[in-house]
Homo-oligomer: A and B are copies of this chain.
Amino acid sequence: MIRMDRVRKVQERMKAQNIDAYMILTHDDYTYLFGEDRSQPRAIIPAEGQPLIVTFKAEEKEIKEMMQAHDVRIMSSVGEQIKDVVGVMKTLKGDREHITVGVQMWFSTPAFLLNMFQKANPFIKIANIASVMDELRMVKDNEELEIMKRAGEIADIGMEAAAKALRPGVTENEVAAEAEYAMRKAGGGRTQTPVFVNSGYRSCWLHGGATDKVIAEGEIVLIDLVPTYKGYCSNLCRTFVVGTPTAKQQELFDLYLKVQGTGIHSLKPGNKMRDIDAQTRKVIEDAGFGEYYVAGISHSIGLGFEETPAPTIHPADSAIEIREGMTMTVGHTVLAVPEVGGVRIEDTFAIGKDNAVPLTRFPKTFRLPAS
Protein backbone atom coordinates (compact mmCIF):
# COMPACT_ATOMS: atom_id res chain seq x y z
CA MET A 1 0.00 0.00 0.00
CA ILE A 2 1.14 3.54 -0.76
CA ARG A 3 2.71 5.23 2.28
CA MET A 4 1.01 8.64 2.18
CA ASP A 5 2.68 9.68 5.47
CA ARG A 6 6.04 9.37 3.77
CA VAL A 7 4.83 10.92 0.49
CA ARG A 8 3.62 14.01 2.40
CA LYS A 9 7.01 14.42 4.07
CA VAL A 10 8.73 14.16 0.70
CA GLN A 11 6.38 16.80 -0.74
CA GLU A 12 7.03 19.19 2.20
CA ARG A 13 10.76 18.93 1.71
CA MET A 14 10.42 19.36 -2.07
CA LYS A 15 8.42 22.55 -1.62
CA ALA A 16 10.99 23.93 0.82
CA GLN A 17 13.73 23.25 -1.74
CA ASN A 18 11.83 24.49 -4.82
CA ILE A 19 11.81 21.10 -6.48
CA ASP A 20 8.64 20.78 -8.58
CA ALA A 21 8.56 17.01 -8.97
CA TYR A 22 10.47 13.85 -8.15
CA MET A 23 10.84 11.37 -10.99
CA ILE A 24 11.36 7.94 -9.38
CA LEU A 25 13.47 5.58 -11.48
CA THR A 26 14.91 3.26 -8.82
CA HIS A 27 13.54 0.47 -6.66
CA ASP A 28 14.66 1.84 -3.28
CA ASP A 29 12.69 5.09 -3.15
CA TYR A 30 9.81 3.33 -4.88
CA THR A 31 9.74 0.68 -2.15
CA TYR A 32 10.02 3.38 0.53
CA LEU A 33 7.02 5.31 -0.80
CA PHE A 34 4.80 2.64 -2.36
CA GLY A 35 5.50 -0.27 0.00
CA GLU A 36 6.49 -2.76 -2.68
CA ASP A 37 9.83 -3.70 -4.21
CA ARG A 38 9.74 -3.41 -8.02
CA SER A 39 12.50 -3.41 -10.58
CA GLN A 40 12.49 -0.58 -13.12
CA PRO A 41 9.64 1.34 -11.47
CA ARG A 42 8.48 4.66 -12.89
CA ALA A 43 6.59 7.08 -10.65
CA ILE A 44 6.24 10.84 -10.27
CA ILE A 45 5.72 12.72 -7.01
CA PRO A 46 4.73 16.31 -7.72
CA ALA A 47 5.48 18.84 -4.96
CA GLU A 48 1.74 19.24 -4.61
CA GLY A 49 -1.12 16.90 -5.42
CA GLN A 50 -1.46 13.24 -6.28
CA PRO A 51 1.49 10.89 -6.70
CA LEU A 52 1.37 9.08 -10.01
CA ILE A 53 2.59 5.71 -11.23
CA VAL A 54 3.37 4.95 -14.84
CA THR A 55 2.63 1.29 -15.46
CA PHE A 56 1.73 -1.30 -18.06
CA LYS A 57 -1.81 -2.31 -18.89
CA ALA A 58 -1.83 -5.74 -17.27
CA GLU A 59 -0.61 -4.34 -13.95
CA GLU A 60 -3.37 -1.73 -13.78
CA LYS A 61 -5.81 -3.41 -11.41
CA GLU A 62 -3.20 -4.35 -8.86
CA ILE A 63 -1.46 -0.97 -8.96
CA LYS A 64 -4.79 0.83 -8.58
CA GLU A 65 -5.55 -1.11 -5.42
CA MET A 66 -2.13 -0.28 -4.04
CA MET A 67 -2.53 3.39 -4.96
CA GLN A 68 -5.93 3.78 -3.28
CA ALA A 69 -7.51 6.12 -5.83
CA HIS A 70 -4.35 8.07 -6.57
CA ASP A 71 -3.39 8.62 -10.17
CA VAL A 72 -2.20 5.75 -12.38
CA ARG A 73 -1.19 6.18 -16.04
CA ILE A 74 -1.36 3.16 -18.26
CA MET A 75 0.84 2.57 -21.26
CA SER A 76 1.66 -0.32 -23.52
CA SER A 77 5.14 0.50 -24.76
CA VAL A 78 8.30 2.25 -23.68
CA GLY A 79 7.58 4.94 -26.28
CA GLU A 80 4.22 5.61 -24.65
CA GLN A 81 5.87 5.68 -21.26
CA ILE A 82 8.20 8.47 -22.39
CA LYS A 83 5.31 10.36 -24.01
CA ASP A 84 3.27 9.98 -20.84
CA VAL A 85 6.04 11.27 -18.60
CA VAL A 86 6.65 14.23 -20.91
CA GLY A 87 2.92 14.98 -20.79
CA VAL A 88 2.87 14.99 -17.00
CA MET A 89 5.95 17.19 -16.87
CA LYS A 90 4.38 19.68 -19.31
CA THR A 91 1.25 19.89 -17.17
CA LEU A 92 3.37 20.51 -14.10
CA LYS A 93 5.31 23.21 -15.95
CA GLY A 94 2.20 25.16 -16.93
CA ASP A 95 3.22 28.68 -18.01
CA ARG A 96 6.68 28.56 -16.50
CA GLU A 97 9.77 28.44 -18.67
CA HIS A 98 11.51 25.81 -16.59
CA ILE A 99 10.71 23.43 -13.79
CA THR A 100 13.07 21.58 -11.49
CA VAL A 101 12.75 17.82 -11.32
CA GLY A 102 14.63 15.72 -8.81
CA VAL A 103 16.15 12.37 -9.71
CA GLN A 104 18.29 10.01 -7.74
CA MET A 105 21.99 10.08 -8.66
CA TRP A 106 23.29 6.81 -7.31
CA PHE A 107 24.43 3.39 -8.48
CA SER A 108 21.10 2.20 -9.78
CA THR A 109 20.27 5.29 -11.85
CA PRO A 110 21.49 4.44 -15.36
CA ALA A 111 23.24 7.32 -17.11
CA PHE A 112 21.46 6.64 -20.40
CA LEU A 113 18.02 6.87 -18.82
CA LEU A 114 18.79 10.25 -17.28
CA ASN A 115 20.16 11.32 -20.63
CA MET A 116 16.96 10.26 -22.42
CA PHE A 117 14.86 12.00 -19.78
CA GLN A 118 16.74 15.27 -20.25
CA LYS A 119 16.53 15.12 -24.04
CA ALA A 120 12.79 14.41 -23.94
CA ASN A 121 12.18 17.27 -21.48
CA PRO A 122 14.46 20.18 -22.43
CA PHE A 123 12.50 22.55 -20.15
CA ILE A 124 13.54 20.59 -17.07
CA LYS A 125 16.40 21.40 -14.74
CA ILE A 126 17.63 18.24 -13.06
CA ALA A 127 18.25 18.32 -9.30
CA ASN A 128 19.76 15.63 -7.11
CA ILE A 129 16.89 14.38 -4.96
CA ALA A 130 19.34 13.26 -2.25
CA SER A 131 18.73 16.57 -0.48
CA VAL A 132 15.11 15.53 -0.05
CA MET A 133 15.31 11.77 0.46
CA ASP A 134 18.52 11.25 2.46
CA GLU A 135 17.23 13.01 5.56
CA LEU A 136 14.08 10.84 5.54
CA ARG A 137 15.72 7.51 4.78
CA MET A 138 18.83 7.92 6.93
CA VAL A 139 17.06 7.30 10.25
CA LYS A 140 14.99 4.11 10.19
CA ASP A 141 11.62 3.77 11.92
CA ASN A 142 10.65 0.75 14.00
CA GLU A 143 9.02 -1.04 11.10
CA GLU A 144 12.21 -0.69 9.07
CA LEU A 145 14.39 -1.78 11.99
CA GLU A 146 12.35 -4.96 12.43
CA ILE A 147 12.80 -5.80 8.74
CA MET A 148 16.54 -5.13 8.93
CA LYS A 149 16.83 -7.36 11.97
CA ARG A 150 15.44 -10.22 9.89
CA ALA A 151 17.75 -9.32 6.99
CA GLY A 152 20.65 -9.64 9.44
CA GLU A 153 19.50 -13.07 10.58
CA ILE A 154 19.28 -14.16 6.95
CA ALA A 155 22.87 -12.99 6.39
CA ASP A 156 23.99 -15.06 9.41
CA ILE A 157 22.24 -18.11 7.97
CA GLY A 158 24.00 -17.58 4.65
CA MET A 159 27.42 -17.26 6.26
CA GLU A 160 26.89 -20.42 8.26
CA ALA A 161 26.13 -22.35 5.06
CA ALA A 162 29.17 -20.86 3.32
CA ALA A 163 31.51 -21.68 6.20
CA LYS A 164 30.21 -25.25 6.28
CA ALA A 165 30.88 -25.67 2.55
CA LEU A 166 34.44 -24.31 2.71
CA ARG A 167 37.11 -26.95 2.25
CA PRO A 168 40.13 -27.45 -0.01
CA GLY A 169 39.08 -28.45 -3.53
CA VAL A 170 35.72 -26.71 -3.58
CA THR A 171 35.18 -23.85 -6.07
CA GLU A 172 34.20 -20.31 -5.10
CA ASN A 173 30.97 -20.77 -7.06
CA GLU A 174 30.08 -23.87 -5.02
CA VAL A 175 30.50 -21.94 -1.78
CA ALA A 176 28.43 -19.06 -3.16
CA ALA A 177 25.75 -21.61 -4.15
CA GLU A 178 25.35 -22.79 -0.54
CA ALA A 179 25.15 -19.25 0.86
CA GLU A 180 22.60 -18.09 -1.72
CA TYR A 181 20.52 -21.20 -1.30
CA ALA A 182 20.36 -20.97 2.49
CA MET A 183 19.44 -17.27 2.38
CA ARG A 184 16.64 -17.80 -0.14
CA LYS A 185 15.27 -20.72 1.87
CA ALA A 186 15.26 -18.45 4.92
CA GLY A 187 13.02 -16.01 3.06
CA GLY A 188 15.62 -13.70 1.58
CA GLY A 189 15.07 -11.94 -1.74
CA ARG A 190 17.81 -11.38 -4.30
CA THR A 191 21.22 -10.37 -2.96
CA GLN A 192 21.74 -6.70 -3.68
CA THR A 193 25.37 -7.20 -4.68
CA PRO A 194 26.64 -10.52 -6.03
CA VAL A 195 27.99 -12.84 -3.32
CA PHE A 196 31.77 -12.45 -2.93
CA VAL A 197 33.82 -15.58 -2.40
CA ASN A 198 37.29 -14.12 -2.97
CA SER A 199 39.98 -16.72 -2.32
CA GLY A 200 43.77 -16.62 -2.43
CA TYR A 201 45.13 -13.69 -4.47
CA ARG A 202 41.52 -12.67 -5.12
CA SER A 203 41.06 -11.86 -1.40
CA CYS A 204 43.10 -8.70 -2.13
CA TRP A 205 40.48 -7.38 -4.53
CA LEU A 206 38.59 -4.29 -3.49
CA HIS A 207 35.49 -5.70 -5.20
CA GLY A 208 34.81 -9.30 -6.05
CA GLY A 209 32.46 -12.10 -6.85
CA ALA A 210 32.61 -15.85 -7.09
CA THR A 211 34.38 -17.70 -9.90
CA ASP A 212 35.23 -21.28 -10.80
CA LYS A 213 38.58 -20.90 -9.03
CA VAL A 214 39.31 -23.90 -6.80
CA ILE A 215 40.03 -23.03 -3.15
CA ALA A 216 43.31 -24.47 -1.85
CA GLU A 217 44.31 -25.32 1.71
CA GLY A 218 45.93 -22.40 3.49
CA GLU A 219 44.32 -19.76 1.29
CA ILE A 220 42.47 -16.80 2.73
CA VAL A 221 38.80 -16.77 1.69
CA LEU A 222 36.79 -13.57 2.04
CA ILE A 223 33.02 -13.99 1.93
CA ASP A 224 30.73 -10.99 1.63
CA LEU A 225 26.93 -11.29 1.72
CA VAL A 226 24.29 -8.64 1.04
CA PRO A 227 20.92 -10.42 1.25
CA THR A 228 17.66 -8.52 1.16
CA TYR A 229 14.45 -8.96 3.08
CA LYS A 230 11.39 -7.03 1.91
CA GLY A 231 13.81 -4.90 -0.11
CA TYR A 232 16.08 -4.02 2.83
CA CYS A 233 19.72 -5.13 2.92
CA SER A 234 22.05 -6.53 5.48
CA ASN A 235 25.81 -6.71 4.98
CA LEU A 236 27.98 -9.40 6.56
CA CYS A 237 31.59 -10.20 5.68
CA ARG A 238 33.88 -12.81 7.19
CA THR A 239 37.40 -13.94 6.34
CA PHE A 240 38.48 -17.54 6.79
CA VAL A 241 41.53 -19.64 6.20
CA VAL A 242 41.00 -23.29 5.44
CA GLY A 243 43.67 -25.12 7.39
CA THR A 244 46.49 -23.51 9.34
CA PRO A 245 47.04 -19.79 8.80
CA THR A 246 50.57 -18.45 8.41
CA ALA A 247 51.81 -16.05 11.09
CA LYS A 248 51.38 -13.15 8.68
CA GLN A 249 47.80 -14.12 7.82
CA GLN A 250 46.98 -14.43 11.51
CA GLU A 251 48.57 -11.04 12.24
CA LEU A 252 46.43 -9.41 9.55
CA PHE A 253 43.25 -11.04 10.83
CA ASP A 254 43.96 -10.07 14.44
CA LEU A 255 44.65 -6.52 13.34
CA TYR A 256 41.35 -6.31 11.45
CA LEU A 257 39.47 -7.61 14.48
CA LYS A 258 40.99 -4.76 16.48
CA VAL A 259 40.21 -2.26 13.72
CA GLN A 260 36.58 -3.37 13.55
CA GLY A 261 36.30 -3.28 17.36
CA THR A 262 37.60 0.28 17.38
CA GLY A 263 35.15 1.22 14.63
CA ILE A 264 32.20 -0.35 16.45
CA HIS A 265 33.16 1.45 19.65
CA SER A 266 33.17 4.83 17.91
CA LEU A 267 29.92 4.16 16.02
CA LYS A 268 27.57 6.09 18.32
CA PRO A 269 25.45 9.24 18.35
CA GLY A 270 27.51 12.41 18.37
CA ASN A 271 30.50 11.02 16.48
CA LYS A 272 30.96 11.90 12.84
CA MET A 273 31.77 9.51 10.02
CA ARG A 274 35.27 10.98 9.87
CA ASP A 275 35.86 10.16 13.55
CA ILE A 276 35.30 6.48 12.86
CA ASP A 277 37.71 6.62 9.95
CA ALA A 278 40.35 8.51 11.94
CA GLN A 279 40.22 6.11 14.87
CA THR A 280 40.41 2.96 12.76
CA ARG A 281 43.14 4.46 10.58
CA LYS A 282 45.21 5.11 13.70
CA VAL A 283 45.02 1.44 14.70
CA ILE A 284 46.23 0.39 11.25
CA GLU A 285 49.02 2.98 11.21
CA ASP A 286 50.18 2.10 14.71
CA ALA A 287 50.47 -1.52 13.59
CA GLY A 288 52.68 -0.44 10.68
CA PHE A 289 50.15 -1.12 7.92
CA GLY A 290 49.32 2.53 7.15
CA GLU A 291 50.28 2.26 3.48
CA TYR A 292 47.55 -0.35 2.96
CA TYR A 293 44.80 1.69 4.56
CA VAL A 294 41.72 2.32 2.39
CA ALA A 295 39.35 5.04 3.65
CA GLY A 296 35.70 4.30 4.32
CA ILE A 297 35.38 1.71 7.08
CA SER A 298 31.67 2.47 7.68
CA HIS A 299 28.60 3.28 5.60
CA SER A 300 24.86 3.45 6.00
CA ILE A 301 22.70 0.59 4.75
CA GLY A 302 18.96 0.11 4.23
CA LEU A 303 17.01 -0.12 0.98
CA GLY A 304 20.38 0.52 -0.66
CA PHE A 305 23.43 -1.62 0.12
CA GLU A 306 25.36 1.64 0.51
CA GLU A 307 23.37 4.76 1.20
CA THR A 308 24.03 8.18 2.71
CA PRO A 309 26.29 8.53 4.65
CA ALA A 310 28.73 6.60 2.43
CA PRO A 311 32.05 8.52 2.44
CA THR A 312 33.82 6.11 0.04
CA ILE A 313 31.40 7.17 -2.66
CA HIS A 314 30.68 10.70 -1.55
CA PRO A 315 33.60 12.13 0.48
CA ALA A 316 31.51 15.04 1.83
CA ASP A 317 29.53 12.48 3.86
CA SER A 318 32.52 12.36 6.25
CA ALA A 319 30.99 15.35 8.02
CA ILE A 320 27.67 13.59 8.75
CA GLU A 321 26.95 12.86 12.39
CA ILE A 322 25.80 9.46 13.62
CA ARG A 323 22.23 9.47 14.97
CA GLU A 324 20.08 7.04 16.86
CA GLY A 325 18.04 4.88 14.48
CA MET A 326 20.62 4.83 11.70
CA THR A 327 21.70 1.44 10.36
CA MET A 328 25.40 1.23 9.57
CA THR A 329 28.09 -1.28 8.78
CA VAL A 330 31.62 -1.41 10.18
CA GLY A 331 34.30 -3.25 8.23
CA HIS A 332 33.64 -2.03 4.70
CA THR A 333 37.21 -1.77 3.42
CA VAL A 334 39.64 -4.58 2.79
CA LEU A 335 43.05 -4.59 4.47
CA ALA A 336 45.04 -6.19 1.69
CA VAL A 337 48.77 -6.84 1.80
CA PRO A 338 50.39 -8.14 -1.39
CA GLU A 339 51.64 -11.73 -1.10
CA VAL A 340 49.77 -12.19 2.21
CA GLY A 341 46.12 -11.65 1.28
CA GLY A 342 43.17 -9.47 2.06
CA VAL A 343 41.15 -9.47 5.26
CA ARG A 344 37.79 -7.91 6.08
CA ILE A 345 35.23 -8.40 8.87
CA GLU A 346 32.02 -6.46 8.36
CA ASP A 347 28.79 -6.36 10.35
CA THR A 348 25.57 -4.38 10.26
CA PHE A 349 24.42 -2.39 13.28
CA ALA A 350 21.44 -0.37 14.45
CA ILE A 351 22.52 2.76 16.29
CA GLY A 352 21.05 2.96 19.78
CA LYS A 353 21.08 5.82 22.29
CA ASP A 354 24.79 5.48 22.97
CA ASN A 355 26.03 2.38 21.23
CA ALA A 356 25.82 0.19 18.12
CA VAL A 357 23.61 -2.89 18.38
CA PRO A 358 24.68 -5.72 16.04
CA LEU A 359 22.12 -7.00 13.53
CA THR A 360 24.54 -9.64 12.22
CA ARG A 361 26.13 -11.96 14.75
CA PHE A 362 28.03 -14.71 13.00
CA PRO A 363 31.16 -15.71 15.02
CA LYS A 364 34.41 -14.06 13.96
CA THR A 365 36.34 -17.31 13.49
CA PHE A 366 39.38 -17.20 11.21
CA ARG A 367 40.54 -20.79 11.08
CA LEU A 368 38.31 -23.50 9.63
CA PRO A 369 39.17 -27.20 9.76
CA ALA A 370 40.80 -28.35 6.51
CA SER A 371 38.72 -31.50 6.34
Interface residues of A (CB under 8 A from B): 37-40, 56-62, 76-79, 103, 105-115, 171, 173-174, 176-177, 180-181, 184-185, 187-190, 193-195, 201, 204-212, 291-296, 312-313, 315, 334, 336-339, 342
Output the least CB separation between A64 and chain B (Å): 11
A-B contact pairs, 27 of them (CB 8 A): A38-B207, A39-B193, A39-B208, A39-B209, A56-B204, A56-B294, A58-B204, A58-B338, A58-B342, A59-B336, A61-B201, A62-B201, A76-B291, A103-B111, A105-B115, A106-B112, A107-B112, A109-B112, A111-B114, A173-B185, A173-B187, A173-B188, A176-B184, A177-B185, A180-B181, A184-B210, A189-B211
**Among the listed B56, B211, B294, which residue makes an inter-chain contact with A76, where contact means beta carbons less than 8 Å apart?**
B294
Output the least CB separation between A39 and chain B (Å): 4
**Is the pair A173, B194 in contact by a Cβ cutoff of 8 Å?**
no
Output the least CB separation between A352 and chain B (Å): 29
Residues of chain B within 8 A of A336, CB atoms compared: 56-59
**Is the pair A189, B177 in contact by a Cβ cutoff of 8 Å?**
no
Residues of chain B within 8 A of A78, CB atoms compared: 295-296, 312-313, 315
**Is the pair B105, A58 in contact by a Cβ cutoff of 8 Å?**
no
CA of A190 to CA of B62 in the docked complex: distance in angstroms?
31
* Given the contacts A105-B112, A107-B110, A184 and B194 also touching, CB distance less than 8 Å: no
Residues of chain B within 8 A of A114, CB atoms compared: 111
